[in-house]
Amino acid sequence: MKLTEEEKIIAVETTQQILAGVDRQNRGQLIPVLQKVQEKLGYVPQVTMEKVANHFAVPAVDVYGVITFYNQFRLTPPGKNQVKICMGTACHMRGAHIIQEAWERRLNITVGETTRDREYSLERVACVGCCTMAPVVVINEEVHGKMTPTRVDGLLFAHQLDKQKAKEGNADNEQ
Amino acid sequence: MAEKVTITIDGRTVSAEAGEMLLWAALDNGIYIPHLCADREDKENPAASCRLCFVEVQGRPVPVPACTLPVSEGLVINTRSERVDGLVAAAFELLMSNHKLDCKNCPANGNCELQRIAKERKLRLKPKNLPVLERNLPVDNSVAGLVYDPNKCVLCGRCVRACRRGGNAVLGFTRRGYDRVVTTFGDVPLAESGCSGCGECAGACPVGAFSVQK
Helix (H, G, I), strand (E, B) or coil at A151: helix
Within chain B, which residue ranges are assigned CATH 3.10.20.740?
Answer: 4-93
Which residues of chain A have a CB within 8 Å of the CB of B172?
59, 61-62, 64-65
What per-residue confidence (pLDDT) applies to A2?
75
Q: Is the dihedral of CA A29, B174, B112, B97 positive or negative?
A: positive
Lowest mean pLDDT among A4-8, A60-64, A89-93: A4-8
β-bridge pairing B64-65 and B76-78: unpaired
Which residues of chain A have a CB within 8 Å of the CB of B169?
59, 61
Distance from the A82 Cα atom to the nearest Cα atom in chain B, whole angstroms: 23
Residue A153 pLDDT > 80 = yes
| Residue B7 DSSP class | E
What per-residue confidence (pLDDT) applies to A152?
92
pLDDT above 90 covers a percentage of chain B that reads 90
Q: Do A61 and B175 touch (CB under 8 A)?
A: no
Distance from the B163 Cα atom to the nearest Cα atom in chain A, whole angstroms: 11
Burial track B143-168 (b if 16+ CB lie within 10 A, e otherwise):
beebbbbbbbbbbbbbbbbbbbebbe
Lowest mean pLDDT among A1-10, A113-122, B116-125: A1-10
What per-residue confidence (pLDDT) applies to A85?
94
Which residues fall within 8 angstroms of residue A173, CB to CB, at 6 or more apart?
none
CB-defined contacts A:B, below 8 A? 33
- Domains of chain A: which residue ranges? 5-69, 81-174
β-bridge pairing A81-86 and A120-125: parallel
What per-residue confidence (pLDDT) applies to A175?
60
Average pLDDT, chain B: 93
Q: Do A59 and B172 touch (CB under 8 A)?
A: yes
- Confidence band for A44, pLDDT divided at 50, 70 and 90: very high
- Closest CA in chain A for residue B188: A61
Q: Tell me, which fold does domain B4-93 have in CATH? A: Ubiquitin-like (UB roll) (3.10.20)
Distance from the B195 Cα atom to the nearest Cα atom in chain A, whole angstroms: 12
Q: pLDDT of B9-33, one tens digit each? A: 999 999 999 989 999 999 999 999 9
Q: Do A65 and B184 touch (CB under 8 A)?
A: no
**Does domain B97-212 bear CATH number 3.30.70.20?**
yes
d(C-alpha A139, C-alpha A122), whole Å: 9
Which residues of chain B have a CB within 8 Å of the CB of A69?
174-176
Q: pLDDT of B104-136, one tens digit each? A: 999 999 999 999 999 999 999 999 999 999 889
Cα→Cα distances B129→A136, A171, B26, B125, B126, Å: 36, 67, 31, 12, 9
Residue A7 pLDDT > 60 = yes
Residues of chain A in Cβ contact (below 8 Å) with chain B: 46, 49-50, 59-62, 64-65, 68-69
Q: What is the mean pLDDT of residues A7-32?
A: 92
What per-residue confidence (pLDDT) applies to A12?
92
Q: Which of B164, B175, B186 sits opposite A69 (nearest CB)?
A: B175
Distance from the B24 Cα atom to the nearest Cα atom in chain A, whole angstroms: 29
Distance from the A54 Cα atom to the nearest Cα atom in chain B, whole angstroms: 13
- Closest CA in chain A for residue B169: A59
Q: What is the mean pLDDT of residues A100-109?
A: 93
Q: What is the mean pLDDT of residues B60-87?
A: 94
Q: What is the mean pLDDT of residues A69-74?
A: 90
Q: Is B174 on the interface with A (CB under 8 A)?
A: yes
Q: pLDDT of B145-204, one tens digit each? A: 999 999 999 999 999 999 999 989 999 999 999 999 999 999 999 999 999 999 999 999
- Closest CA in chain A for residue B170: A61
- Confidence band for A1, pLDDT divided at 50, 70 and 90: low
Q: What angle do CA B36, B42, B43 make, to 5 degrees?
A: 90
pLDDT above 70 covers a percentage of chain A that reads 98
Q: Do A91 and A136 form a contact (C-beta atoms < 8 A)?
A: yes
- Closest CA in chain A for residue B167: A59
Within chain B, which residue ranges are assigned CATH 3.30.70.20?
Answer: 97-212
Q: Is B195 on the interface with A (CB under 8 A)?
A: no
A21 by Cβ neighbours in 10 Å (0-12 / 13-18 / 19+) ranks as exposed
What per-residue confidence (pLDDT) applies to A174?
63
Q: HEC string of B135-204?
A: CCCCCECCCCCEEECHHHCCCCCHHHHHHHHHCCCCCEEECCHHHCEEECHHHCCHHHCCCCCCCHHHHH
The amino acid at residue B73 is E
Q: Do B7 and B25 form a contact (C-beta atoms < 8 A)?
A: yes
Q: φ, ψ for residue A133 (rounded to 5)?
A: -95, 10
Cα→Cα distances B59→A113, B77, B88, B197, Å: 54, 10, 21, 48
Q: Where are the beta strands (DSSP E) in A116-175?
A: 120-125, 137-139, 142-144
What per-residue confidence (pLDDT) applies to B12?
93
Distance from the B167 Cα atom to the nearest Cα atom in chain A, whole angstroms: 12
- Confidence band for A166, pLDDT divided at 50, 70 and 90: confident
Q: What is the mean pLDDT of residues B203-214?
A: 91
Helix (H, G, I), strand (E, B) or coil at A139: strand
What per-residue confidence (pLDDT) applies to A72?
87
What per-residue confidence (pLDDT) applies to B1?
55
Residue B59 pLDDT > 70 = yes
**Does domain A81-174 bear CATH number 3.40.30.10?**
yes
Q: What count of Cα atoms within 13 Å lies in the side-chain half-sphere of residue B196?
A: 11
Mutation pick from A47, A61, A111 vs chain B, by most beta carbons of B within 10 Å, is A61
Report the run of H or E that residue B65 belongs to, with start and end: strand B64-65
d(C-alpha B100, C-alpha A117), whole Å: 39
Which residues of chain A have a CB within 8 Å of the CB of B185?
46, 49-50, 59-61, 64
